[in-house]
Amino acid sequence: MKLVKTYGRTAKTAADLIASIERRGAVSTAKVEPVVRRILADIRKSGDAALKKYATKFDALKKNQPLLVSREEMQAAWEATAPELQAAMMIARGNILAFAEAQLPQEWTITAAKGVKTGQIVRPLGSVGCYVPGGRYPLPSTLLMTVTPAQVAGVDRIVVCSPKPARETLAAAWLAGVTEFYRVGGAQAIAALSYGTATIEPVNKIVGPGNLFVTAAKQLVSTECGIDMPAGPTEIVVTSETGYAPGIAADLVAQAEHDPETLAILITSNETLATEVAAAVKVQAKDNKIAKQSLAAQGAIFVTKTVTEARELTNRLAPEHLTVDSHDDLKWVSNAGSVFVGDYAPQSMGDYISGPNHVLPTGRVGRVRGGLSVLDFVKIITVQEYSRKGLGRLGPHAISLATAEGLTGHAESVRVRMR
């Protein structure tokens, strides 16, 4: 394997660089974990006092400004939004809603044996916290991506937390019908959602992307509050042999402008394509300060000996966003958050308008799960029902298994109902 371009990254060999990328999840959050632990402990101990202290320091909360955003403020933001942006938000929400509805799991029952029915019922979570980043850029799309599937699932209480919420984000909240929105972010918001304060009641689960501090906080509170996944910083891998070089470069630059920690990689066995993409990235990132910074720290192009090697490396990295050449390539993809197929599917479409969720697994979590979906907001509860004859048919087998395990009480609980 050959490194054609690393945009400033240093590594003795390609293998060294790949190993460091594979360790990215644990290494990244470890850098901020001590600070995050102190914030979590402070919120847990002092509640609102600590929350307002951090919100004033980090989230530009003004003196005497309430943490809770009123519906009137959201409505005013919507009315001040340009009609073309209103239309875009409505289309995006419609597509997200339709996709989530298609994802809803179904209730069903089967007959395991005569007189024995088994199945599942589906129930929504009672409450969720949706984290919407609000630092470098306004992200109304993230509000729609997190709130909408929760609504489709039937969640009763949906709480949004966002630092320094932009007008666009407040407008999206109005469109989505959000009633509980707090202007607080970072690890302090995660702590409040998990532990609760006098102002913010705790939730059952926290979802949404964030920076390293948010990601570390979510991981640390996950022992007592559900979370979706580590979702940030952004990652992009393009695995291509025949792709359009300017389009590939544009996707790499687009995702790189999210955050200086963004991982941006091209994997190919086509050295000509690699060289063309490297040149195009240089031109397209010229005036994009954050993208240039990200590419310098986290960008790389790998040229593999074979197509098979390129595919194997892609699945090892388990990227958040993955672009491939054709629909046939989906056959070899096993680890990715969301896949974009062909030259006419820029990853930015998935960020905003397509319908599939843009809250996606990072840090190689794509090995074990996909992106946020309506499934994150429901519980699958299994159900078993026996008639007397059904118990008579399967009961003796359960008694045999219980006896083999030495669990006599288990065996008797079946036996007593069979008498």
Assess whether 312 carries a catalytic annotation: no
- The bridge status of strand 226-227 relative to strand 127-131 is unpaired
Tell me the residue type at 368. V
Residue 357 CA to residue 373 CA, distance in Å, equals: 7
Measuring CA to CA, how many Å separate 269 from each of 4, 13, 83, 334?
Answer: 11, 17, 46, 20
Place of tokens 């060294």: 16
Beta carbons within 8 Å of 251's beta carbon, 6+ residues apart:
236, 238, 323, 346, 347, 348
Residue 183 CA to residue 61 CA, distance in Å, equals: 7
The structure tokens listed for 352 are 């905003």
The structure tokens listed for 188 are 């302090």
Place of tokens 């470098």: 136
- The bridge status of strand 116-124 relative to strand 108-113 is antiparallel
Which one of 73, 235, 261, 320 is the catalytic residue? Answer: 320
216, 187 contact by CB (below 8 A): yes
Which one of 276, 321, 385, 412 is the catalytic residue? Answer: 321
SS (H, E, C) 117-169: EEEEEEEECCEEEEECCCCCCCCHHHHHHHHHHHHHHCCCEEEEECCCCCHHH
Residue 63 CA to residue 382 CA, distance in Å, equals: 50
| Phi/psi of residue 10, nearest 5 degrees | -115, 135
DSSP structure class, residue 319: -
Assess whether 358 carries a catalytic annotation: no
345, 339 contact by CB (below 8 A): no
What value does the CA radius of gyration of the chain take, rounded to a whole number of Å? 25
The structure tokens listed for 57 are 């320091």
The structure tokens listed for 323 are 């672009």
Q: What is the dihedral of CA 36, 40, 45, 46, to 10 degrees?
A: 80
Q: Which residues are catalytic?
A: 320-321
